[in-house]
Structure formats: C-alpha cells, structure tokens
Amino acid sequence: MTRLLRATYIVWVALRYGLDELVLTSFQKPWLRLMARVASVGRDLSAPRGQRLREALQKLGPIFVKFGQVLSTRRDLLPPDIADELARLQDRVPPFPADVAIATIERAFRKPLNEVFTQFEREPVASASIAQVHFATLHDSHGREREVAVKVLRPGMLKVIDQDLDLIRMMATWIERLSADGKRLKPREVVAEFDKYLHDELDLVREAASAAQLRRNMAGLDLVLIPEMFWDLIRPEVLVMQRMEGIPIGQIERLRESGVDMKQLARDGVTIFFTQVFRDGFFHADMHPGNIMVSVEPATFGRYISLDFGIVGTLTQIDKEYLAQNFTAFFRRDYKRVAELHVESGWVPPDTRVDELESAIRSVCEPYFDRPLKEISLGMVLMRLFQTSRRFQVVIQPQLVLLQKTLLNVEGLGRQLDPELDLWATAKPFLEKWMLEQVGPKRFWQELKDQAPYYAKMLPDLPRLLHGYLQQKQDQVTTRQLVEIIREQRRTNRLLTGLVYAGLGFLLGLVAMQLYIWVRIHFF
C-alpha cells in the first residue's frame, strides 16, 4: 500500500507540473503534439518548462533532485533553458527553517548554540537535497578564532529516501523478471549500490571520514584543496569543517575576470579525477558544479576546492587494473585488446567472437577520436556502447555504475570550462605512466616496503618456523615410509597366503591321485 501511495503521488506531481505535456511536446509527431495540448486543458502551465521540471523534482524529494543534478551537467543533451533551471538544484534547493537547523545542532551537541559557536549565521549559504550549510565562528582547542562551515541534515530524509528506494527496488524486480535484458543489466544490484550510497550520505560522520581520506590522498598533488574536519564537532546529523573561500566553478565569467587559466583548470580536473580513480581507487563521486569552487587566494590561486563528500566511490585493485588496461587500449585504438579484456574478465560469454566484438567497439569509438569535447557527447558514446553490449550480452558491473556517473559529471564540467579540451589526449599520458608504475621496479619496491613490517615481525620467528617445517617434513617422510612398509608387508602377506593355498591344493591333489590309484589296484 505504501508503494502504491508513493507511486500515485509521483504521478500526481508529474501531472500537476505538466511533465506529461513536456514529454509529449518533445516529439515531432503531430498527433503526439495534439495529445499534449489536450492534456494541458484545465491546468495552469504558464510557467516555463524548465522551472516546472525543477519544481517537480524538488517536490518529489532527494532522489529526484540528485537525478536533476546529474542532468544539469549534460548541456549537450538538454535544451539551454532546462539545463539552466536544473543547475539551480546543485546548491539552491529551498532551505528548511533556520530554527530547525539550530534545534538539530543543539540536540546533537546537547548544549545551547552559543556554547558551541561564538557566532552563527541563520541564513544558509547553500541548500541541497540532503542538507544545508551555515557559516559560523568558533574557538578551536588552541583558543584561536576559526571560521567554519556547519552542515546540517534535512529532517525526515531517511523516511522519504526509504520509500522511494522501496518503490525503485520493486520496479527493478519487475524489470529483472520481465525484461529480456533483466539478468544482464542486474537492476536489483544497481539499486542496491544506489541504496548504499544514499544511506552513506545520511551519515555525516562517514562523510567526514571520506573527506579526511581524500585530503590525505590529495595532499601532494597541489591541484585541489579539501577542508579540514573538526572531529570534536562532528555527529551523524551535524558536520563542522573549515570554511573555504573561492569562486563557484559554474561562474565562468567571474573566473575569467579573476585571471584563472580555464584551459589549465579543465586539464587539472581530468588529472584529479584519474588520480583519484586509478592511483587511489577512492574518488569524489558527486562532482557537479555546486560542489566545486576555485581558489583565488595568492598562495593557492587556480586550485580546485572540493566540497560535499557524501558520495565517494571505491575500486579494488582488480577493478583499477582492468579499467586502466581498457582505457589504455582504447586510447591506443587497440580495439582487439579491448574485446579480449571483455572476454578475459567474464563480462561477455566465453564463446563470443573477439573479431566481431572488436569490430563493434571500433564502429562506436573511432568517430570520436581527435575531436574536442564540444564535438563529442560521451552520453551518446555510452548509449551506443550500451546498444552494442545488448548485442553481445555484456554483463553490467554494478560497482562501476557510480564511476560512469562521475565520468559524465567530469565530461560535463570539462565542456563548460574548455570546450576545446581533448579528453583522450589529456588522460592518455597519465594512464600510460600509471600502467608502467604497476609493472615496473617502482611497484616492486613499493610492495617490498609495504610488506617490510610483516617480514620484520616474522624474522625472529624464522628459526622456530624453519625447525617446525623440517620436523613436519620429517614426520611426513616417516609416516610415508611406514605407510610404504605396511603396504609392502600386505603385498608379501598376500603372496605368502597364495603360496600356502597353492601348496595345500597341490598336496590334496597328490593325496587324491594316490587314493585313486590304490582303489584301481585293489578293486579293479
């Protein structure tokens, strides 16, 4: 019943904001356009279509807002008016009352607000689907005054998210059972991944831990700034972090006026993404413009400022190596190797013809090489690859869905910063260097250093372990010898028993023959 009510509410919101009319008018068929006009009778649809879509997504809740955030970065797929409106979902979702935020903070710290902060701005500086941010001032452990940003969760988010996920989970089950591609697409596993990321985002302690990890990982790169976390003031529903100053990356004109090199900024963004993915296997997976600023401070001029670490992605070493090999082969236009990797990894059936898969991948990818981002739609490339994957029954990998989403975010961001950016040429040297590090002496030396504490601990025990090993081998040899002796004894016993029986049989035969001769002599 809960699912039915939620589904009914979603349909009602779609009809109220005229989303059905918006979809129908996007078709070229006259009869569909006529149907759109009929559907709009009696409803006030005077507001612009982009505004109606944005308001509908806001009304439906955080999952739909996140969907709109992803769409807002794909200006190559959307009309400008819709893309502009959806961009407001990145950090301008209507805020909840400041009194509610203050009550949440006081409940989390169990003390009045003025005992936590010396100054607190009631007006939020940013408001998104899951939380909103207020600026404040506090005294740190050394008595210094620090400017901080306070992130507070929206109340009641868990219930709304669970309801929507329950509905999506049910739809995924239907797709898996009814669709011919259901098992290959693994919709329930994809929803499970989405479920995990959304619930992680509702725990601000986890977000702070992710931010701290990214801060350590990026410390030596000098391309991105990540705020410091104030661990004494972090709770599941409240997060206090260093206040960062910069220009939102979506304000392109302001960045240009400040003297930021837009081409270098675009290249740095690609480098940051590939470093996090392939070097660390731990990446910021919510890289829409609302979560990124650019520093204009003299000491850090032109560096990225990353915010909002509620969604992070992780990759295993196997995932990293497989993806790096695929990307490297792709950048070299070695489509045969790409096809072979799909077979080796088990992503396609083992009887797949490599030459046919190679030809299909070439037909999708070849037209897009040596072209700037303004002439490429990665969304279209992925759609064509998806069509190819259906033909060859490629099994979808749920753990990589978040990476694909982030890659789309990166491409959309790069398109805004520098439409002339050659994504492939920028990424290729990085990946080739990374591959060399994975198989060269540097990797061997790193592995040796990583294992050194283990070897150092084991070294004092080595004589005892060696003695135990040799004793075990000796015992194994002794046992083996005893087994052989017993086996040989049994063979000998069987032989002797056979000889005894044969001898007895021979003697009985002689006795019988003698008896037979005696009878013949005396009676016949």
Q: What pLDDT does residue 111 have?
A: 92
CA end-to-end span of the chain = 111
301 secondary structure, DSSP code:
T
Query: How many H helices and E strands in the chain?
Result: 22, 12
The more confidently predicted of residues 226 and 472 is 226
Q: Calculate mean pLDDT across residues 52-70.
A: 78
Question: Given phi > 0 = left and psi -120 to 50 = alpha, else beta, which region is 446?
Answer: alpha
Q: Calculate mean pLDDT across residues 114-130.
A: 89
CATH topology of domain 98-313: Transferase(Phosphotransferase); domain 1 (1.10.510)
Joined together, the tokens standing for residue 417 give 């910063």
The per-residue pLDDT for range 141-163, each reduced to its tens digit, is: 677 789 999 999 988 877 777 77
Q: Quick check: 518 pLDDT over 70? A: no
Q: Quick check: 472 pLDDT over 70? A: no
Q: With beta carbons less than 8 A apart as the criterion, state whether 152 and 237 touch.
A: yes
The per-residue pLDDT for range 339-385, each reduced to its tens digit, is: 888 777 777 777 888 888 888 888 877 776 666 656 666 555 655 66
Number of neighbours of residue 417 by Cβ within 10 angstroms: 23
- Token look-up 């060399």 returns 436
> Which of 90-94, 273-277, 469-473, 494-498 holds the top average pLDDT?
273-277
The per-residue pLDDT for range 499-509, each reduced to its tens digit, is: 555 655 655 66
Q: Calculate mean pLDDT across residues 121-126.
A: 92
Q: Calculate mean pLDDT across residues 35-63.
A: 73
Confidence of residue 11 (pLDDT cuts 50, 70, 90): confident
Q: With beta carbons less than 8 A apart as the criterion, state whether 411 and 405 touch.
A: no
Confidence of residue 74 (pLDDT cuts 50, 70, 90): low
Q: Quick check: 486 pLDDT over 90? A: no
Number of neighbours of residue 466 by Cβ within 10 angstroms: 10
Q: Quick check: 436 pLDDT over 80? A: no
Catalytic positions, written as ranges: 286
Q: What pLDDT does residue 242 have?
A: 95
Q: What pLDDT does residue 501 have?
A: 58
Confidence of residue 293 (pLDDT cuts 50, 70, 90): very high
Q: What pLDDT does residue 244 have?
A: 94
Q: Output the average pLDDT for the chain.
A: 76
Q: What pLDDT does residue 296 have?
A: 93
Q: Calculate mean pLDDT across residues 2-21.
A: 74
Residue type present at position 238: V
Residue 519, helix vs strand vs coil: helix
498 secondary structure, DSSP code:
H
The per-residue pLDDT for range 398-414, each reduced to its tens digit, is: 556 677 777 777 777 87
Q: What pLDDT does residue 333 have?
A: 81
Q: What pLDDT does residue 94 have?
A: 80
d(CA 297, CA 289): 20
Domain residue limits, the chain: 2-87, 98-313, 328-454, 462-523
- Closest by Cα among 147, 128, 130 to 138: 147
Q: Quick check: 174 pLDDT over 80? A: no
d(CA 261, CA 266): 9
Q: Which of 17-26, 114-123, 196-205, 441-450 has the lowest mean pLDDT?
A: 441-450
The more confidently predicted of residues 212 and 63 is 212
201 φ/ψ angles, rounded to the nearest 5 degrees: -70, -20
